[in-house]
Amino acid sequence: MSDQADKLKAQLGLLSFEDRAELTLYLLASLDEDDDPAEVAAAWDAELAKRMEEMETGKVEGIPAEVVFERIRRGLA
C-alpha cells in the first residue's frame, strides 16, 4: 500500500460509521465504472430467474428466514 493510502486509511478510521459506509459505497461503485448498467441489470435479472426456476422445480430448497436469522445469531451461518 502506498504512503498516501496509509495516511488516508488512518484518517478514515476516525470517521463515523455512516461516513465510512458512504465512502465504502462510493469506492465500490468506482471499481465498477467500466460496467454498463444495462448489462449489469440484465445479468442480475438472468441470475434471479435461474434461482427462481431452481426453487420452483425443486432443484434447490429454500431455508426459512427464521432459521437463517437464528443461525446468524448463533454464529453458524
Q: What is the pLDDT of residues 16-70, one digit of tens each?
A: 999 999 999 999 888 877 788 888 899 999 999 999 999 999 999 999 999 999 9
Residues 44 and 26 in one domain: no
CA-based nearest residue to 44, from 63, 36, 27, 25: 36
Residues 48 and 71 in one domain: yes
Residues 40 and 30 in one domain: no
Q: Is the pLDDT of residue 77 over 70?
A: no
Secondary structure letter of residue 72 according to DSSP: H
Residues 24 and 47 in one domain: no
Q: How many structural domains is the chain composed of?
A: 2
Residues 26 and 53 in one domain: no
Residues 43 and 59 in one domain: yes
Spatial separation of the C-alpha atoms in residues 2 and 10, rounded to whole Å: 13
Per-residue confidence (pLDDT) for residue 32, from 0 to 100: 78
Model-level pTM? Answer: 0.48
Residues 55 and 29 in one domain: no
Q: Which domain does 24 fall in, by range?
A: 1-34
